[in-house]
């Protein structure tokens, strides 16, 4: 089996250590287990998330929305339903 070296920072290594099923589980075994555990839907969701995070305009819109929420500038579901006469 051919092996290679990957670099991870210390905090990533600590996170990986926490999800090992046994302290003797190798990082290769751990990474294979994680990679194999993702379904097609998980991968598609991850790709969608990356696309959103990569779009500066969308990220600005999300930041604006969070600021509005913190300032109390929002409508509840009940308010929207009432305004649209959906209740």
pLDDT tens for each residue of the chain, 87 residues long: 788 898 989 999 999 999 999 999 999 999 998 888 888 888 888 889 989 999 999 999 999 999 999 999 999 999 999 999 997
> Could you tell me the end-to-end alpha-carbon distance of the chain, in angstroms, rounded to an integer?
64
**How far out from the chain centre does Cα 58 lie?**
16
pTM of the model: 0.47
Give the pLDDT score at 65: 96
Q: Report DSSP state, residue 22.
A: S
Give the pLDDT score at 17: 94
Give the pLDDT score at 42: 84
Residue 51 DSSP SS3 = helix
Give the pLDDT score at 20: 94
């Amino acid at each position: 089996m051919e092996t290679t070296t990957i670099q991870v920072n210390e905090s990533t290594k600590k996170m990986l250590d926490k999800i090992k099923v046994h302290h003797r589980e190798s990082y290769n075994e751990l990474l294979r287990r994680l990679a194999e555990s993702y379904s097609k839907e998980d991968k598609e969701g991850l790709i969608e998330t990356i696309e959103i995070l990569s779009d500066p305009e969308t990220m600005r819109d999300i930041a604006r929305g969070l600021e509005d929420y913190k300032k109390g500038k929002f409508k509840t579901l009940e308010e929207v339903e009432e305004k649209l006469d959906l209740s």
